[in-house]
Chains A and B, each alone.
Chain A
Amino acid sequence: GESVGLHLPTLSVQEGDNSIINCAYSNSASDYFIWYKQESGKGPQFIIDIRSNMDKRQGQRVTVLLNKTVKHLSLQIAATQPGDSAVYFCAENNGNNAGNMLTFGGGTRLMVKP
């Protein structure tokens, strides 16, 4: 199948370990952040989101941390599984933007070794 990204930063982890994927955003006016997972040949799949009035949000096996001071976002995946292998994108939105457009980062490839 088609490769989503050929020259993306890659994080390689052992199955069962925790993964941390980082993202730096540039727009200090952004107040809504989303993590998407994209498998080869598929569209981005929503994982979790966080608004700027929060520092942390937890989902099932995933946690998103937001540090507005340094404009940094991270996605933590607990007990990483082979099915987690994909490219992960962070996206940001500026609530004052009436268009609701998302601005995506460059992506990180996660490879899970069995």
Chain B
Amino acid sequence: GAGVSQTPSNKVTEKGKYVELRCDPISGHTALYWYRQSLGQGPEFLIYFQGTGAADDSGLPNDRFFAVRPEGSVSTLKIQRTERGDSAVYLCASSFGGNQETQYFGPGTRLLVL
């Protein structure tokens, strides 16, 4: 079956611009996660949705970052006033809704802020 998909695969933007990154989870998965991966490091947690609501947004670095999941399926990560330090791979994962269910990752969106 289809896995987690993310669009765009690559995004180049200028400092100060606004970007949106999209995640389409595996069908039937009620939990959705966003992580950020810098070069040479492991992924770092940003936010977790259970259905439409953000159950844990403790990993969002500041108020320039925001994510939504209005219908409990597709999610959009939004970054305002991008900074060069936001350059990274943004990974989305999804799982069934229970505790400690396996998280399946998408291919990521590579964001470069010039």
Task: Tell whether B95 is near chain A: CB-to-CB under 8 Å.
Answer: yes
Q: Would you call B61 an interface residue if the criterion is a C-beta within 8 Å of the partner chain's C-beta atoms?
A: no
- Which of B93, B102, B107 interacts with A42 by CB under 8 Å? B107
> Are the CB atoms of B99 and A102 closer together than 8 Å?
no
**Candidates A5, A32, A43; contact of B106 at CB < 8 Å:** A43
Q: How many residues of A contact B (CB 8 A)?
A: 33
Q: Please determine whether B108 and A43 come into contact, CB atoms closer than 8 angstroms.
A: yes
Would you call A6 and B42 a contact (CB within 8 A)?
no
Chain A interface (Cβ < 8 Å from any Cβ of B): 2-8, 32, 34, 36, 41-46, 49, 51, 89, 91, 93, 95, 97-107
- Name the segment of B11-19, B33-41, B74-82 touching the other chain: B33-41
Question: How many residues from B make CB contacts under 8 Å with A?
Answer: 31
- A46 pairs with B102, CB closer than 8 A: yes
Closest A residue to B42 by CB, please name it. Answer: A104
Which of chain A's residues have a CB closer than 8 A to the CB of B105? 36, 43-46
Interface pairs (6), CB distance under 8 Å? A6-B40, A34-B103, A42-B108, A46-B104, A89-B42, A101-B48
